[in-house]
Amino acid sequence: MFPEFFNTPLLAPFNDLSERESMFKLAELTEEIKVRLSQLAISYNINIIGGSMPFADTEKDDLYNISYLLHRDGKIDEHRKIHITPNEKKFYGMKGGNEIKVIDTDCGKVGLVICYDVEFPELPRILADQGMKILFVPYLTDTQNAYMRVRHCAAARAIENECYVAIAGCVGNLPGVNNMDIQYGQAAVFTPSDFAFPSNAVKGEATPNTETTLIVDVDLNLLKELHHYGAVRTMTDRRKDLYDTVNHNSETE
């Protein structure tokens, strides 16, 4: 998994344009990068989550923040960021996507949300109700406190939805790119908090704000055991007679 907007260093040649115009220029490269990532997924026999990139609907003059899952068999799935930050609205005029769905992979059902999305617990809960076992969260945060919002929310989603959550974000600085000059991040994989998992519910984490690759193995069978025999069973013990979470597009839980 790559970070949200991992290709923003390519914005540098467009720094004379407005932020929104430069993002449209960057969006012109998205298809080429998507195709190349798909080729790499096939040739290396891995599934790749292409962080996120801008996607332009030129007919409507709309910009979306889109993440692709490139399967090893050539299939391509996507998620359009649903919750748009005030910064994305102000500088880029980004629009939010409208589809909530799990993605079937050869490793099981996974969920894909982007950064701010993970701060809304209803979204991963709907994905968990659809069978999600791993939630992937590419993000981009400029400051440490912004990163901590993503980190703590991701850790909470792992506990309340009995799943693994992986996060990856940009690090370093881009002083030559407007509105992308500083970034802070730390990749991590979170687990539920029970006896079968690490005592701090962190399966692995990278060195803070350092460019590196984090490699973590997770056991999906432990999630099945947790669901039936855990010290607490958050997915089972919900009071659905009092409250529920509904996806209005599909009118299903």
Query: With 0-12 CB in 10 A as exposed, 13-18 as middle and 19+ as buried, what is 83?
Result: middle
- Is 122 catalytic? The answer is no
> Quick one: residue 37, left, alpha or beta (phi over 0 = left, psi -120 to 50 = alpha)?
alpha
Alpha carbon distance 253, 243 (integer Å): 11
* Residue pair 158/171 in contact by the 8 Å Cβ criterion: no
* Given 19, 34, 81, 162, the catalytic residue: 81
CA 145 to chain centre: 18
* Given 78, 95, 115, 163, the catalytic residue: 115
- Is 133 catalytic? The answer is no
Specify the residue for token string 């007919």.
Answer: 59
- Is 4 catalytic? The answer is yes
Alpha carbon distance 201, 231 (integer Å): 14
Asked whether the CA dihedral 244, 67, 144, 133 is positive or negative, the reply is: positive
Which residues have a catalytic role annotated?
4, 81, 115
